[in-house]
């Protein structure tokens, strides 16, 4: 049986751990409030941007409209190749439950599905980068330690790299894997096609709207498409960051509760051991007294 000193040492250690987990939970909660507010502001912009581009792309046609021959922007191109791209968004740190594990598992499924293809990896977050490097994969782009000061410039850098690879290397498509934030307790593991940009389902005519375009629709579409891709990447980064904070809050809350239960169990064992020692000492004193009488 462990000594009283060992029990007290274990209790002290668990209490120190509990203080750390509580502090991490409070920090994550404070940051989550700001991140959640940014997401709520960014989602409507991303949705309207997609709707506007879909509408505009449906009006920019060349040749026979029946063939849906759209304005030939490179981001619309569909390349007949075995090259694909993967943008994996993980966290830089652990202690957030199964957040990184689920993302890496999903990336593993993507790799297995496309094992006969040449995959170009673009990895956000240290956890995903370290995992793929351990497996021996060569990374086309790696972006770490950006969530502490996340801004649109990070999305611009990532977007420029991905769009350049898509056009220069003629990737068939680029898929993004990330955790979409729903609530503190719920994050949806999501895989979306980022490139090529989806073509509209049908051609629209000027008679269906009263919009007047300045500059030309072709010039406007060419200028907005790269911004649209970058805005989608920025939304993905913010969603992932908020989901990470939510997962960390949940994990630290569970850890704090487990630490409390462990402290109670160790305290009970300490008291029982101390009671047993006292009882044994009393029995020895009584036995000694009886022996002397």
Say if CB 132 and CB 121 are below 8 A apart: yes
Is residue 132 part of the annotated active site? The answer reads no
- Flag whether 18 is in a domain: no
Cα torsion 43, 153, 219, 174: sign: negative
- Flag whether 237 is in a domain: yes
Distance from CA of residue 240 to its chain's centroid?
Answer: 3
- Flag whether 269 is in a domain: no
- Flag whether 3 is in a domain: no
Tell me phi and psi for residue 170, to 5 degrees.
55, 60
pTM comes to 0.83
User: Which residues span the domain enclosing 100?
Assistant: 24-204+217-251
Q: How many residues does the chain have?
A: 293
pLDDT tens for each residue of the chain, 293 residues long? 567 888 889 989 999 999 999 999 898 888 888 888 888 777 788 778 877 777 777 777 544 444 444 556 788 888 889 999 999 999 999 888 899 999 999 999 999 999 999 999 999 999 999 999 999 999 999 999 999 889 999 999 999 999 999 999 889 999 999 999 887 778 889 999 999 987 766 655 555 555 677 777 778 888 888 999 998 999 999 999 999 999 999 899 999 999 999 999 999 988 888 888 888 888 877 777 777 76
- Flag whether 17 is in a domain: no
- Flag whether 13 is in a domain: no
pLDDT score of 79: 87
- CATH number of the CATH domain containing 160: 3.40.1380.10
pLDDT score of 65: 42
In the sheet that holds 173-183, the strands lie side by side as 139-143, 118-124, 83-89, 173-183, 186-195
188-203 pLDDT tens trace = 899 999 999 877 666 5
Nearest to 14 by CA among 218, 255, 232, 233: 255
Q: Name the catalytic one among 88, 96, 119, 237.
A: 96
- Flag whether 86 is in a domain: yes
pLDDT score of 208: 57
Q: Distance between CA atoms of 269 and 277, rounded to whole angstroms?
A: 12
The domain tally of the chain equals 1
- Flag whether 98 is in a domain: yes
């Amino acid at each position: 049986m462990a000594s009283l000193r060992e029990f007290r040492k274990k209790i002290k250690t668990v209490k120190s751990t509990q203080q750390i987990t509580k502090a991490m939970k409070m920090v994550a909660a404070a940051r989550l409030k700001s991140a959640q507010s940014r997401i709520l502001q960014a989602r409507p912009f991303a949705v309207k941007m997609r709707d506007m581009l879909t509408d505009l792309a449906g009006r920019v046609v060349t040749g026979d409209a029946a063939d849906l021959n759209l304005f030939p922007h490179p981001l619309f191109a569909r390349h007949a190749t075995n090259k694909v791209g993967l943008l994996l968004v993980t966290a830089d740190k652990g202690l957030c439950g199964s957040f990184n594990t689920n993302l890496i598992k999903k990336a593993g499924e993507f790799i297995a599905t496309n094992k006969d293809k040449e995959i170009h990896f673009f990895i956000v977050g240290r956890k995903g980068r370290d995992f793929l490097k351990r497996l021996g994969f060569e990374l086309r782009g790696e972006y770490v330690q950006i969530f502490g000061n996340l801004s649109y410039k990070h999305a611009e850098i990532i977007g420029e790299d991905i769009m350049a690879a898509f056009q220069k290397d003629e990737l068939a498509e680029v898929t993004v894997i990330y955790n979409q934030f729903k609530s503190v307790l719920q994050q949806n593991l999501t895989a979306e096609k980022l490139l090529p940009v989806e073509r509209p389902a049908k051609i629209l005519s000027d008679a269906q709207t009263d919009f007047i375009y300045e500059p030309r629709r072709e010039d406007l579409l060419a200028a907005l498409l790269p911004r649209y891709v970058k805005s989608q990447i920025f939304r993905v980064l913010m969603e992932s960051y908020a989901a990470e904070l939510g997962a960390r809050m949940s994990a630290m809350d569970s850890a704090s509760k487990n630490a409390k239960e462990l402290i109670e169990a160790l305290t009970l064992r300490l008291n029982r051991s101390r009671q047993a020692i006292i009882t044994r000492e009393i029995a020895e004193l009584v036995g000694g007294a009886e022996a002397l009488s």
